[in-house]
Structure formats: C-alpha cells, structure tokens
Amino acid sequence: MSSRVLVVDDSEVTRAILARTLRGAGFEVLEARDGAEGAMTALRERPSAVVTDLEMPTMDGFPLLRLLKADPLCAHIPVLILTSHAEAPSRFWSLRTGADAYLTKDHRPHELVATVRRLVDDAAAPRPLDASAPAPEVGPVEVLARVARQLDAGLLQATVVNTLLEQGMTAADFHDAGRAVLETLGEVVDARFLAVAVAELETALVEILLQDPLAADDVEAIRECLIRRLHLIPGTAVEARVGGQPGTVRVDLERMVWIPLSLRGAAGGLALLPRDPDEYRLAAAERLAGLIRPLVLVLDNARLSQRLREMSTLDGLTRQLNHRAIYDRLTEEMERARRYKNPLSVILCDLDEFKEVNDVHGHLAGDMVLREAAGVLRSCLRSTDVLGRYGGEEFLAVLPQIDLASARLAAERLRQGLEAHVVRLSSGATVRITCSFGVATWDELTSAATVDLLVSLADRRLYDAKATGRNCVRPAEGKA
C-alpha cells in the first residue's frame, strides 16, 4: 500500500503541480485548500506526511503545524514546510515550532520527492491503538476549538516560564531562587510538597516548600530522602531549608516523583508529591516537562552566581568570611552603631597550641581542626552575628547591638563549645581544641574611634589571655 501525503496550499495550481510530482513518485495524495481544511483532513485521515504552505486564508501553516504536533493522534506525522519564504526567521520559527523539514518553492522536483520519502521512512510509527481507532469526526468548529485550546496552553506555558525567569533571575542565592521557582510551580502543579536538591563537589543544597502542613517527622524524612537521591560522598555539608507551615498531615513518600535535572557541574533533581497521582500523570507531568529547562537555567544561574560571590568573600578552608570581607562587615556595623548610638562588640580568638597539631598530625589534620573549630564557633553565635577567619588560626566575630558584658558571656560560650568538642582525624586519632579570647566594645573608645582601634583593643586582650594561661576570656568578668 502506497504512503499517503497531504498537500495543503491555497493555490490550486501549486497543489496540482505538487500532487502530480508526488503521484509520479508512487505516493497517494490528499489535498486541502487551507490550514483549517488541512487540519480536518489530517485528524480524520492521518496521512504518512503533510506538505504545507505557510501563508493561507482561514488558518495559515504555523497554527496547523502546532495543532498537528500537539495532538497525540497526529504528533508522529512528519510535516514539510514548503513556502516562498526564504527568510531566516521563517525557517527558524518553522523548525522550532515542530516542522521536520523546510523547502522553498524554487526547489527541484527530485528534492521534494527525496525529502518526503525520507520523512515517511524516518517517521515514528503511530501507537497500535491509533491504527485501529475509528477516525474522529472533525469539523471547522472543532478545529478552531483545538487551536484555541492549544494557544491557551502555549500562553500558560509562556507565562509560567516568564515568571520563573523573572523571579528566579533576581534571587540573591540558590535558596531564594529555589523558593521562587517552587512557589511558581506550586501554582500550576497540585502537590503536597515540592523540592529541589543539588549536589556539588563538597556541598549539597536542598530547598523544600510545603504546600500542606506536613508532620515534622515526615518533613525530616523528605529531607533524608532527597539527600539519599543525591548519592553524596561521606562528609558532604548539606544546606537545607524548609518553607511553609508544618503540621500533622502524614504522607506516603513511596508516591514521590523525582525528576533528574541536568545542571552544569552538579547533580540534582526536582521532587514533588502529587495530591492526585492519576491527575498528575494525565496533565501536570506534560506541563511540568516543558518547564524543566527554564527551571534548570534559573537554578544554575543562582548557584553559580552564589559560588562566584562566595569565592570573593569566603575563606576557602573554613567557609567563613575572609579577612577583607569580615573587615568590610565590621566597618558597616561600626557606621551603623555610630549612627544609631547602638552598642557593638568584637571577639578575637586564637586556637591554642595549633602549631603542635600540625607538627604531630600533619597539615591536613590542621586543616580539619580549623574547619571544625570554625563550625563550632559559628554554631555558638547568633544568626545576626558575623564570623570571619582573621588570619592563620585566628577568627574575628562581630556582634551587633551587644555590650561588653554580654559579649564576654558570648565569648565564654564559644570557649566552652570548643573545649567540649573532639576532632576525630581520619587516622583515628582525636584532637581537643581550646582557644583564647579577647573581647572589646565600641563604647570603650571615643566616638571618633576606628575599626582598627577596636580590633587592636581586642587583640591586646587576646594577648593577655595567652599570657595568663590560654583557654580563657579577657577581660575577665567584672574587669575592663
């Protein structure tokens, strides 16, 4: 049985020439005078290929092309655009809209035959169900309704993509971008929760958005499930944030959907738990598939921008602010304290006998001690406090709106936290950390005091702590 080719063109002469050429090559030819008639014929007859003009009355070639490629019954049918338009934009949009080939009307007859034969031979076979299904009754009204639905779906997709890009590209970091894209997806996907997770070389980033008030232990189970999906190496630091209100709703994570994301230099995925799995499979999954590329673009942009900023402000070993960045933050806080007449304190600390760690256990062990010491210090400070690596084994903490007495108590918490911490080296050996602290506050200086003078005062007190036995805070309680 010969293959059937549908020719769609508003010129009777052109249709006759094309039909004669294709019939001469052994094809059976169907004809339509415009896009609407072509759509009705294609949906009813399901030809092996469609050859269509672009500019036609009632419906031109682009809506016809989009309609055929969007309909499951016709999506497998190859479409050849045959037009007098040779402009690059016309070719570009035809191929991007779904055309399988593009020829201009100054082609040679053998080019048309060879192209149609290639398209027919290469076309994906229709599903077995389609071959036996009765031909649908399709009239002009149904065609226009399908075009309207397809335009609506395209507008919805474009609007969501634009929202993703608009909100995600202005995000300050990965977590802000992740929250923005999840909130946008939550508007078009009915899910109990959505999440994005990304694994890099030494860190993993997880953002979870609760659409329902899930039970706290289920939220923790979601976090652990996402981390397992990332296949992290032992010791990888995980930054996880949860948005939305927890509650008492229980969920079955066996129904969770995981969609891998192709990120640059990282592994990741989008996770969600549909409220209605059947409804998700019927509609939302296809809609979501069209949003993956812009979602990846937003996450990659936020993640790489965040890493670029971190490279310029963070110490590579301890992941705390570097010397320049902590000094800049202290300068900002000093100006704010001076303007609003608020207290401001600093804590300068130095690890005790750190050279001995390097000498006995090696510099890699020393690096591990520095990393863990920084982690302990950070965990003992308020979220509003700022910590930086001042240099070597010294750290500087900036405490806004804290007077000297409260800063001394904060330093004592840091001292106790470090003293209680045990570093377990890869060799199996253990190392205990102690630290000496110098505390100073802006109120102790004149109103014209500089950042350098404030740090210098803390440094003198740190030297005093070292001289009086180490592992202590100066000034001592009740002294200044």
CB proximity list for 4: less than 8 A, separation 6 or greater? 27, 28, 29, 30, 45, 47, 48
CA pair distance 63, 388, nearest whole angstrom: 59
pLDDT of residue 79: 94
pLDDT of residue 147: 61
pLDDT in tens, 259-276: 999 888 888 999 999 988
28 within some domain: yes
Do 204 and 290 belong together in one domain?
Answer: yes
Q: Please compute the mean of the pLDDT values over residues 316-324 and round it to a whole number.
A: 91
309 within some domain: no
Do 91 and 224 belong together in one domain?
Answer: no
Place 138 in a pLDDT band, splitting at 50, 70 and 90: low
**CA quadruple 382, 387, 392, 394: dihedral, nearest 10:** -50
CA pair distance 332, 343, nearest whole angstrom: 13
CB proximity list for 175: less than 8 A, separation 6 or greater? 205, 207, 239, 241
147 within some domain: no
pLDDT of residue 72: 76
Q: Report the candidate in 362, 372, 198, 220 with the shortest Cα–Cα distance to residue 296.
A: 198
pLDDT of residue 312: 84
Which residue blocks in 253-322 are alpha helix, DSSP H? Answer: 277-279, 285-289, 292-313
151 within some domain: no
Q: Mean pLDDT across the chain, nearest whole number? A: 86
Do 167 and 288 belong together in one domain?
Answer: yes
pTM: 0.55
Residue 296: give its domain's CATH number.
Answer: 3.30.450
Which segment of 101-115, 149-163, 169-183 scores lowest on mean pLDDT? Answer: 149-163
pLDDT of residue 464: 95
Q: Please compute the mean of the pLDDT values over residues 470-476 and round it to a whole number.
A: 93
Residue 80: give its domain's CATH number.
Answer: 3.40.50.2300
Q: Please compute the mean of the pLDDT values over residues 84-90 and round it to a whole number.
A: 72
Total structural domains within the chain: 3
348 within some domain: yes
180 within some domain: yes
Do 369 and 270 belong together in one domain?
Answer: no
Distance of CA 322 to the CA centre of its chain: 27
Reply yes or no on whether the pLDDT at 130 is more than 50.
no
313 within some domain: no
pLDDT in tens, 1-18: 579 999 999 999 999 999
Do 298 and 327 belong together in one domain?
Answer: no
Domain that holds residue 396: 323-474
Do 161 and 128 belong together in one domain?
Answer: no
Question: What does DSSP assign to residue 330?
Answer: H
User: Which strand ranges, in their side-by-side order, compose the sheet holding 386-391?
Assistant: 386-391, 394-400, 344-351, 435-441, 473-474
Which segment of 303-312, 328-337, 410-419 scores lowest on mean pLDDT? Answer: 303-312
Higher local confidence (pLDDT), 309 or 273: 273
Selection from 23-32, 192-201, 278-287 with the highest mean pLDDT:
23-32
Place 131 in a pLDDT band, splitting at 50, 70 and 90: very low
Do 117 and 74 belong together in one domain?
Answer: yes
- Domain boundary pick from 138, 168, 198: 138
315 within some domain: no
Q: Report the candidate in 475, 442, 445, 476 with the shortest Cα–Cα distance to residue 460.
A: 475
Residue 442: give its domain's CATH number.
Answer: 3.30.70.270
Reply yes or no on whether the pLDDT at 154 is more than 70.
no
Higher local confidence (pLDDT), 305 or 161: 305
Do 362 and 257 belong together in one domain?
Answer: no
Q: Please compute the mean of the pLDDT values over residues 132-143 and round it to a whole number.
A: 59
Nearest-5° Cα angle at 287, 283 to 291: 160
pLDDT of residue 283: 67
CA pair distance 298, 306, nearest whole angstrom: 12
